Structure 1
Amino acid sequence: MEQPNTTAGIVIVGSGLAGFTVIREIRKLDQAIPITLVTREPGYFYSKPMLSNAIATNKSAEQLQSSSAVSLAEQHAITILSETSVTAIDTQLQSLSTSKGALPYDKLVLALGADQIRIPIEGDAATEVMTVNDLTDYASFRQRIAGKKKVLIIGAGLIGCEFANDLALGSFEVDVVDLAQQVLGRLLPEAAAVELENKLSETGVRWHFATTVQAIRHQGEQLAVTLANGTVLTSDVVLSAVGLKPRVDLAMAAGIATDRGIQANRHLETSAKNVYSLGDCAEVEGLVLPYVMPIMQAARALAPNLLGQALTLSYPAMPVMVKTPALPTIISPPANDAVGSWKIHSIDGGLEARFEAANGSLLGFALMGTATAQRSAFTKELPAIL
């Protein structure tokens, strides 16, 4: 299972949700075509979205693993090259250079994922800022916070809010710092953001908006965190959750077209023949959507295309659930170029926010608390994303 073979077939780089979902979809259509999965990780499967809400339930990294590399290889009749780095793609020879030798392909799928963005920070403890982007990161974070009390989070977006809620439920003191004026600045209208902020504040989360972390220095056994507004906070651990940057370097070096992500059309084809992309690293028709539902949709479209059929990807409306039990929230943000306005309606135990065009048609929404029960009805009103 650990050595590259000379049989080509389909080669998939990346063992996240995108890579494994494509494998499952291929096997629904073809049980025999050779598939090789190349991954820098051990090759196990786990649910990455669970990383931001597993602390309160005291889940270890091992408990989050749902399948081992051996069982996955047997279950799907695939070859897994685990702990293997891909260093180059030769699109002319249709071959990969890997840390375990050359690997030919007939069709190549880039499911490389994304890296956590790191902001520049000064100070002798700047290198101690942690990110949680995979199971190994999660294990390291759990180890670092063991026996500690205070965690500072940089970023009040989806992941930042989820970690803040989870850590607060786990009895940690939590400070959250963000350049924006509110939580989920790109996704929520102000009134909805205030609702979420207040509910998380009730769990003990402290907010520091319209500023950023400037420096982190050692202060005895703790860290002194200096904000751009002059405030100095103390913390045991600093976690960065400011957003994701698609992994494009490997594709770019191979001459494959990239912009914000690896560019792909609605057949998930890149600019290179027989090379495809999906997931957090991909930019499909100008859209970068690092969420579960777009990945599932893309995988279902990609599998037939890899097998010689022509299927065009479509994205229906795909609301995103924010895992904040202090105030359950479901968001379907309007498109960046959407023209309209937010209309807020408070209900008993919740809030409905509709982003409507001038004619009253629904272009986006946010549902909170008891209003999340309206998810299906609101989703039916929305236009398709693609």
Structure 2
Amino acid sequence: MEARQFFHDSEIPQSEAERPLIIVGNGPAGMQCLVELRRRGFTAPVTLFGEEDWAPYDRVKLSTFLSGSTGFDDLTNLPAELDADVEHLVGRAIIEINPTRRWVEDSLGQRHPYSRLVLALGSEAHIPGIPGTELSGVLRFRDMADAQALMARRLRSTHTVVIGGGLLGIEAAHSLCRFGTNVTLIQHADRLMNRQLDSEAAGMVADSLARAGVDVRLHARVKSVEGRERVEGVRLADDQVLPCDTVVFATGIAPRTALARRAGITVASGIRVNASMQTSNPYIYAVGECAQFQDRVCGLVMPALQQARVAAANLAGDAVSYVPVADSTWLKVLSLEVFSAGLFSDEARGLVHRTLVYRDREKGIYRALMLRAGRVVGTVSVGPWPERQQVLNRISDGKRLWPWQIGRFALTGTLGDHSGQSVRQWPVATVVCQCRGLTKGQLQGYLDQGVSTVTSLKQASGAATVCGGCEPLLDSLCGGEGGIKRTVPGGRALAVIACLSALLLGLALWLPPPAPATSVLDMSLFEQVSRNNVWRQWSGYAVLIASLLLLLMSLKKRFPGLPLGGFSGWRIAHVALGAVALGLLYWHTGFSLGENLNRWLMLSFLGVGVMGIAAALLTRLQASMPALGRLRQGSTWLHILVCWPLPALLAFHILSTYYF
């Protein structure tokens, strides 16, 4: 029989200074609360309780652990704040809270007094109330114990049914089918990850899952788990029976509230908290998946960590209020990067005014922006997207998109925010690590203190230790290849051609035109050709053909599937042909502006040339001076805009020449 030790109430110290702050739960929210307390100079004693027998681990990586691509040591990431001054008790569940006397009792029967109490209890796997869930072979996928049970089961299972098409269900199905097991994934909704993706993005995930060998069943509902003592199959709502020997439930979560409810703390769906993360008892706080702020219980890591920071700030004496941000999901599913935030789902499309979509099926890229009154209110994407963090910032700050940004997104899938910039050039208030809520200014503070590498910055700040999606941004901030050390393929050739073109164009415009000869014998070769109607006609044709070729070559970036080399080679050829076109134009006109529409035509030609030269030079210079990114974008767009009148002006010029 297990010994139980109790303190009498008289033995509980009453001095506030003798009572530690207690955090119940060593998951992401509890650990973040501890880290933030220490960073804010909170030096009082802290006791940290963990119910599981494991050291704190990264739940986000459980699926990679299940698949065998990540070891247990890679899951643990103990912060420096978890030092000898913190009493860390693992395998010690808290079973009772006495709010009046301010102590908690653990599973060994020991009572621990507290000055303040933080409940980071998390949630537990939700198992639907259907017959057969008690049979042997019914598992869940939520924590380390579940992952180990699945690892032991995967080698002997011949057919596994995974119920639940959320992230955990998808990852479990994919991990299990890698070991020769037939896997069926059942989702009651019309698409996978229906809370994180829209129909098109979810379809791309489903296709990838099917290619991996998983049988995906949508619009399906499990009526019961069949079998006598162990699982033999699942019965669907249409009475179809799928034979199987293992059933894995990944059907959502339920906040852990029983402990708070027994203590008389106000509970609804979760433990009710105010903007300071205080419960109905002012000495008790709640954060993460067990807490309910207003009418919402968070089920994602990012808001849980944000709540932990707010609670720690108030415990340290700073008045900070919790302001929910737009829910965002930034994950890697089946090697696909999926991202969503704000109003993005099919059901929310009625709340937006316009949806912008960019697709590149060959590269597996899908990006959608939801706009309301010209502002980004939601987004969803599949595939790599370097601008994800900037898009999240746009949802937060509510800035309007300019028309050229909308056009750029439709053509290239990018908005151009901070394009080509090192993170060093970003505003200090820009969020870099969304999961931890760390801004560029906060991370720069660590660099100013002597941190110099991405690894040390991750350890010091905690950035990129949850989902890892912002690690390239940290590399950029530290001056890595993702930042200022950017190279432009063919940049030197661009610069040489642009400089020569600028020099010759400048000389042609600066030098006075040659005076007309007084006799035929004194005429120069240029004047003889320029006054010859046949030569003038052919030089005009050459300018027209060069202009059409330049227009066609500019489409290479819009249609990357075109053959004959990559974009960088076509860009060099485009600039070289532009220089030739300027020479032909000089041969045809001597850069004489002419009158009426001819004057506008010449000005348009010269404007296109000048802006093209500027864009080429800035493209090369941007590699070493990222701050020129916006200037380069502006010159490129001006180069395109000045082209617009050319077709109409050329048509009028040709018609007027032949008509008269």
Normalising by structure 1, we get a TM-score of 0.88
User: Could you tell me which residue of structure 2 aligns to residue 45 of structure 1?
Assistant: 56
Give the 3 Å change call, closer, same or farther, for CA 198–45 of structure 1 in structure 2.
same
User: Could you tell me which residue of structure 1 aligns to residue 393 of structure 2?
Assistant: 380
* Aligned residue among 105, 109, 113 for 1:104: 113
Secondary structure at 1:366 match in 2: strand
User: Could you tell me which residue of structure 2 aligns to residue 352 of structure 1?
Assistant: 367
Within the alignment, does 1:94 sit opposite 2:121 as a pair?
Answer: no
User: Could you tell me which residue of structure 2 aligns to residue 77 of structure 1?
Assistant: 85
User: Could you tell me which residue of structure 1 aligns to residue 25 of structure 2?
Assistant: 14
Secondary structure at 1:311 match in 2: coil
Aligned residue identity for 1:11:
I
Give the 3 Å change call, closer, same or farther, for CA 22–149 of structure 1 in structure 2.
same
Q: How many Å apart are 1:138 and its aligned residue?
A: 1.4
Give the 3 Å change call, closer, same or farther, for CA 219–235 of structure 1 in structure 2.
farther
Within the alignment, does 1:36 sit opposite 2:15 as a pair?
Answer: no
User: Could you tell me which residue of structure 2 aligns to residue 343 of structure 1?
Assistant: 355
- Contact 2:32–2:305 at 8 Å: present in 1 too? yes
Give the 3 Å change call, closer, same or farther, for CA 131–56 of structure 1 in structure 2.
same
User: Could you tell me which residue of structure 1 aligns to residue 579 of structure 2?
Assistant: none
Q: How does 1:125-274 map to 2 (within 5 A)?
A: 126=135, 128-218=137-227, 223-274=232-283
Normalising by structure 2, we get a TM-score of 0.53
Give the 3 Å change call, closer, same or farther, for CA 312–58 of structure 1 in structure 2.
same
Secondary structure at 1:373 match in 2: coil
Q: How many Å apart are 1:16 and its aligned residue?
A: 0.7
Secondary structure at 1:75 match in 2: coil
Give the 3 Å change call, closer, same or farther, for CA 296–354 of structure 1 in structure 2.
same
* 1:109-134 CA distance string (max 9 Å, x none): 00000011101232486453211222
Aligned residue identity for 1:197:
A
User: Could you tell me which residue of structure 1 aligns to residue 338 of structure 2?
Assistant: 329
Within the alignment, does 1:369 sit opposite 2:379 as a pair?
Answer: no
Secondary structure at 2:48 match in 1: strand
Higher mean C-alpha deviation, range 315-324 or range 199-208:
315-324
Larger radius of gyration: 2
Q: In the aligned structure 1, how far is the partner of 2:258 from the partner of 2:354?
A: 38
- Contact 1:182–1:194 at 8 Å: present in 2 too? yes
* 1:36-73 CA distance string (max 9 Å, x none): 1122222511101111232333545x4455268xx989
Percent identity of paired positions between Structure 1 and Structure 2: 26
Secondary structure at 2:297 match in 1: coil
Q: In the aligned structure 2, how far is the partner of 1:43 from the partner of 1:261?
A: 25
Q: In the aligned structure 2, how far is the partner of 1:41 from the partner of 1:293?
A: 22
Q: Which has the higher strand share?
A: 1
Question: Could you say which structure has the greater relative contact order, defined with CA pairs below 8 angstroms and 6 or more residues apart?
Answer: 1
Secondary structure at 1:53 match in 2: helix
Q: In the aligned structure 1, how far is the partner of 2:356 from the partner of 2:229?
A: 48
- Contact 1:73–1:80 at 8 Å: present in 2 too? no
* 1:240-264 CA distance string (max 9 Å, x none): 1110111111111212122221111
Q: In the aligned structure 1, how far is the partner of 2:342 from the partner of 2:311?
A: 25
Aligned residue identity for 2:87:
T
Q: In the aligned structure 1, how far is the partner of 2:92 from the partner of 2:36?
A: 24
Q: How many Å apart are 1:169 and its aligned residue?
A: 4.4
Q: How many Å apart are 1:220 and its aligned residue?
A: 10
User: Could you tell me which residue of structure 2 aligns to residue 66 of structure 1?
Assistant: 76
Give the 3 Å change call, closer, same or farther, for CA 333–57 of structure 1 in structure 2.
farther
Q: How many Å apart are 1:276 and its aligned residue?
A: 0.3
Q: In the aligned structure 2, how far is the partner of 1:292 from the partner of 1:124?
A: 28
- Contact 1:43–1:80 at 8 Å: present in 2 too? no
Q: How many Å apart are 1:305 and its aligned residue?
A: 0.9
Give the 3 Å change call, closer, same or farther, for CA 87–221 of structure 1 in structure 2.
closer
Give the 3 Å change call, closer, same or farther, for CA 382–276 of structure 1 in structure 2.
same
Aligned residue identity for 1:377:
Q
- Contact 1:153–1:239 at 8 Å: present in 2 too? yes
User: Could you tell me which residue of structure 2 aligns to residue 119 of structure 1?
Assistant: 128
Q: How many Å apart are 1:237 and its aligned residue?
A: 1.9
The gaps in structure 1 that reach 5 residues or longer are none
Secondary structure at 1:27 match in 2: helix
* 1:49-99 CA distance string (max 9 Å, x none): 111232333545x4455268xx98962521123222222212122121322
Q: In the aligned structure 2, how far is the partner of 1:231 from the partner of 1:341?
A: 42
Secondary structure at 1:144 match in 2: helix
The gaps in structure 2 that reach 5 residues or longer are 399-660
Aligned residue identity for 2:240:
T
- Contact 1:51–1:132 at 8 Å: present in 2 too? no
Give the 3 Å change call, closer, same or farther, for CA 288–21 of structure 1 in structure 2.
same
Q: How many Å apart are 1:19 and its aligned residue?
A: 1.0
Q: In the aligned structure 2, how far is the partner of 1:271 from the partner of 1:342?
A: 43
Higher mean C-alpha deviation, range 267-276 or range 287-296:
287-296
Q: In the aligned structure 2, how far is the partner of 1:342 from the partner of 1:185?
A: 21
